[in-house]
Structure 1
Amino acid sequence: MNILIVDDSKAMRGIVMRAVKAAGLAEATYLEAGTGVEALASIRGAEPDLVLTDWNMPEMSGFELIKAVRAEGRQVKIGLVTSESDPTLRAQAMEAGAAFVISKPFTPDAVRAALQPVIS
């Protein structure tokens, strides 16, 4: 399984990666992107199986990334890892094609619970 982690903070990409590995995906291949624009290029080229993206990033937000990926007809599973807690924004993300939303701060158990239905 190829997993793309997208966040403008390198430290946060590492934290998300460790949590995903702890959730049972230690053997996956991991790719990283620092912006939504980089992520979109990576999705077009590497075609990952799963994308975990931050919501608030420069150039292109995680929400805009989801909309762009879906507009291209790509069916890659995408989840948001975000500090956004507004239920309306979360509902919009799901309507746009997010498979899950994980709230920051998160625990490995929360990541595991969000990923289980997606990777089963």
Structure 2
Amino acid sequence: MKILIVDDSSTMRRIIGNVVQQLGVAKGDFDEAEDGVVAWKMLQEKKYDVILTDWNMPNMNGLELVKKIRSEGSSHRGTPTVMITTEGGKSEVITALKAGVNNYIVKPFNAQTLKEKLDPFFKH
């Protein structure tokens, strides 16, 4: 299971990384990016099974990244994405889901919530 964690906060990337390790993902099986631009470059070089992205980031935000991932011609079009963000309003959730997000987690969250939202992607 290869996971891409996209968040401009190194602390948040570390927290998410710790939780995915608790789910059995080895440290070498997830990568980190600090914004959508870096994430998109990484996606051109490597295939991921799940993408976890923040919404509010500089350069390219998470919503723009998801739209790019879901665009025609993208080889990552079917890759599951989970938005992890402070944007918890109903309209934001609807906007993200319409853009193609598979699941949505509002910060702050606990490890159990993240595990529950990621669990479906670990069942093959």
Cα offsets for 1:42-82 (capped at 9, x unmatched): 11211111110110000111011000111143211111110
Residue 2 of structure 2: aligned partner: 2
Aligned-residue CA RMSD (Å) = 1.3
Paired AA for residue 108 in structure 1: A
Cα deviation for residue 111 of structure 1 reads 0.6
Q: TM-score, normalization: structure 1?
A: 0.92
Residue 93 of structure 1: aligned partner: 96
Cα offsets for 1:89-112 (capped at 9, x unmatched): 111111111111111111111011
Gap runs ≥5 in structure 2: none
Residue 53 of structure 2: aligned partner: 53
Cα deviation for residue 13 of structure 1 reads 0.5
Q: TM-score, normalization: structure 2?
A: 0.89
Q: Secondary structure at the match of 2:82?
A: strand
Identical columns (%): 36
Residue 84 of structure 2: aligned partner: 81
Residue 11 of structure 2: aligned partner: 11
Cα deviation for residue 21 of structure 1 reads 2.1
**Count of aligned pairs between the two proteins:** 119
Residue 107 of structure 1: aligned partner: 110
Gap runs ≥5 in structure 1: none
Distance 2:21 2:51 in 1: 14
Contact 1:99/1:118, CA 8 A, preserved across alignment: no
Cα deviation for residue 31 of structure 1 reads 0.5
